[in-house]
Amino acid sequence: MPLSDIKIKSLKPGIKPDGSTTSKTYKVTDERGLYIEVTPKGGKRWRFKYRFEGKEKLLSVGIYPDISLKAARARREELRTQVAEGIDPSDVRKAEKISQAGMESFEFVAREWHSKHKHNWSESHLTRTLARLEKNVFPWLGKKNINEIKASELLAVLRRIENRGALETAHRTNQVCGQIFRYAIATGRAERDIAADLKGALPPAKVNHHASVTEPEKIGELIRAIHQYSGHFTTACALKLAPLVFVRPGELRNAEWAEFDLTKAEWRIPARKMKMKTVHVVPLSKQAITVLNELKPLTGSGKYLFPSNRTRTRPMSNNTINAALRRLGYSKDEMTGHGFRSMASTILNEQGWNRDAIERQLAHSERDGVRAAYNYAEYLSERMEMMQHWANYLDDLSTKENTTQTIKMS
């Protein structure tokens, strides 16, 4: 039932309307997303719950009785109107707070810079980048004029991150801040990039390489184990395909049937899915085609090659491959889903294949972004040969108990 002033006044801390007791904050619903919370100390605060772009969100509406029931409902309707118009009320709230500090505050410039990348960054990267700023930078530098921030002030922020043992995060935060300062320079709101002054101020971060099997004999053992995997069939197919294509784990689990041309033996991953935002072509070996043909009767009528076990409308979990490797007996220090890339890179380089062709197949960064956008098919004929050789090599290793490395024939 909707709330009334009499009912709100009767709400007591620790005693719910149904008579049950609690030592925690409890809520009583009004209607259309509005409810009131009663704290253990007797405070009463309004909340509005809504969904935006499929996500449930929560917004504070004020404290009762400062905000009456009538005023809270009026505010709720304003917020519902924003949602109906495609506007996220939480974004409006943030913008209102930022505007108090001015358009030249660090937070205002940072959010503006962040919004410029909404169409060329992945959703996960956008979320991760903004969360890092909101947690580590905005509380201390957000309201400051970006042109007045000193290198020592930014260093103090980075030291806080370092002191909690997150040295790599401190380095990444400084890199992001550098991009924001350079954007501020380009838009006339700052004169220099103070993040660049901090080069060498932080100790170097340790590089954690993804665990991988790179010895031929052990690779053969791994491939044999993969072919004996007895778990879910789609997971088994993903495991078989992973070493044959050696793409990033996220690219594999998000693979869609529409991206594959089995006649041309080609998997074309769209730019929006790639880390470097350029189209990536993966030549498919005969062995990869065999795996895909085995999988297609099961998942070919849907969107994803490897749908979640719970719903076919979403891809498998990002931990599925690693969990399967653990089931096969490989610890996280021995082999990971990302390790198939290191495996292929190590062996193919040792075998004498063109390093540039290998790097292109790994879809590593291209310094010239424009050049990368137009050269996704670079070395394609050589890469087709290399990928078939690699699949044959893995077959050879898996059928021999003791193997020696096959050298590329010129």
Q: Which of 138, 237, 133, 112 is nearest to 176 (CA)?
A: 133
State the DSSP string of 322-342: HHHHHHTT--TTT--TTHHHH
One-letter amino acid of 190:
A
Question: Which of 9, 12, 374, 400 is the catalytic position?
Answer: 374
H or E element, residue 37: strand 34-38
Question: Which of 45, 75, 76, 341 is the catalytic position?
Answer: 341
- Alpha-carbon distance values, 61 to 8, 66, 89 (Å): 15, 11, 11
Question: Which of 44, 47, 114, 338 is the catalytic position?
Answer: 338
SS3 state of residue 269: strand
Establish whether 218 is a catalytic residue: no
Contact (CB, 8 A) for 37 and 26: yes
Contact (CB, 8 A) for 193 and 178: yes
- Alpha-helix runs per DSSP H in 34-122: 69-84, 89-101, 106-115
Measured in degrees and rounded to the nearest 5, phi and psi for residue 56 equal -80, 130
Question: Which of 9, 150, 164, 364 is the catalytic position?
Answer: 364
- Locate the DSSP E strands across 218-348: 260-261, 266-269, 280-283
Establish whether 248 is a catalytic residue: yes
Establish whether 310 is a catalytic residue: no
Establish whether 280 is a catalytic residue: no
Contact (CB, 8 A) for 139 and 99: no
Establish whether 341 is a catalytic residue: yes
Question: Which of 275, 296, 326, 327 is the catalytic position?
Answer: 275
Establish whether 268 is a catalytic residue: no
- Alpha-carbon distance values, 48 to 45, 97, 306 (Å): 10, 19, 37
Contact (CB, 8 A) for 387 and 361: yes
Q: What's the CA gap between 247 and 243, in Å, rounded?
A: 8
Contact (CB, 8 A) for 252 and 321: yes
One-letter amino acid of 230:
S
Pair of tokens at residue 63: 């404290």
Question: Which of 75, 248, 253, 360 is the catalytic position?
Answer: 248
User: Which positions are annotated as active-site residues?
Assistant: 248, 275, 338, 341, 364, 374
